[in-house]
Structure 1
């Protein structure tokens, strides 16, 4: 008898979970009058000169480009990395991606074999684990404990490394915690990876959004062992343009560039024109939005303190973690809160360590934040931090 596999999906694909963030997004969109604090989407409009550059490019030549990106943009990004971080990067080692998420996926595709292990922070953006599973690898969580300020314990992390460990994911400034790792922590993480022959994949999407302290570029410490992933989405309010970039060592990046063709052929010409305009044009927008996010952080921290809710104050990105009562399931709390008029992202969407926390996005307006945090504080008081949901 012939056995057919028609109608089945691959085990790797079947193992990839849905996004706990998107579950709340979909619920919030189905209800009226919900304050949206669950998703990291800048509320500012993309600067006009960036939009104009994309429009002009689409009108003049809306065609394929080089798979790894147009030379002018790759050169401009290499210059940016050198000026900002002292990183000497050949433009040929910079690859333009369809947002940071596709750049990460391509790096994982180039590095991972079935059975490999990827060290992923917990809590962390869920796509790291989703992508590891898609390529047949296992995601091993290293905790970022609230009691430790959401900073990793190096000894605990080192104990998780095995002969199958292939990648150490580092994310600073962090989504979802907003924590900026101190320079000595970044250096220690890189040293640990180098000592064990592990590649660091450094997610630096929020590198321009730092309120306190200084962002440390991991690749500047050990360029042969670090792949850095960046994005235009948050810095320039360009989430819809879907453009990011990856920079890494010479032994890896030609493979990443080659894999662009089977994955997407190339990033759109219009988006690359927008990115180049963002880099070469005025930068006041970056400073203005940074000041706005810092002001919103201070507003929300103050409102929560007034409600008796103490939080770890974020030093960067535009997120903040709100603790619930001990043992409360944050997914149930987030669903309950949507019906109370405010959408938040459950800590369970980001791992196990912060499963009794909610993530708030500070990317909304001060008015929306004031209204949403007010609703959250009222709910918190009524339910005892989620203990008495009904």
Structure 2
């Protein structure tokens, strides 16, 4: 015979509810979900709770226990003092359906918006080959059981209803990071999508998602921060920007009509024959539609000579070089007027 313990459980639906007190038997080794089931069997047969595996692998029994988001099946009663009242409430970020069951369909909608893995076209299933270090890097993120505790504690979702449409949340940031780090994924727009469609810029890395993860995934350190760094490097790093504008020999071997950064370029004349600096500069002129500005076409830049190995000499980086054009254009004055400043979620370029 176990001891009697004080339990407080939220009862209600989307129209409202309240906490109800119970005295319930607790035995050695039991978890909170066991006590919920005992309440259903003895005192509250209509108590609604979502659960499935009872082994910490399905993520169904997410709830808030004494104010902290946890899995009911993984929270042992021995962690609470005998005289302590254990309060069980539903996840407060998502709409309540009934009692401890919440509507988490928001997360499944965000999952549908995320582009799936895109394997190489010339590699058949069963022929994928990866280095073990790449397997281990992404395997951590695949441990996610979709309990949505990280989504529940994320203040961007929890406290700001207006952000939900423009913010995917930590569970899907790790999915995007996993695919972006995958050596066989052929999509090149995941970093842009993380900023423009998932709203990763709203995350201020408080690490609350990492604290509540039952699988101990380092969501912030291993996924969100690296993904933020990759997105910033791609968009704002002046070295990366300059590197993308310097003409390299390997670009000469691209087929006619090859698309760079989502912009289709004109066919290059005399493909494969531009071996001199003059010919290289002429070939580079065919790529003048890759603009240095967002709203105008830039003049073709000077193509620096490269060596037989296709690399630039060190002097090209240490010599006196002209400054890059402003991405805002020459007709924009600073500070920008308040009417031109937009704090809303950015749209994709093709929507302007």
TM-score class, shorter-chain normalisation, is under 0.3
Between 1 and 2, higher relative CO (CA 8 Å, sep ≥ 6) is seen in 1
TM-score by length of 1: 0.21
TM-score by length of 2: 0.23
> Whose radius of gyration is greater, 1 or 2?
2
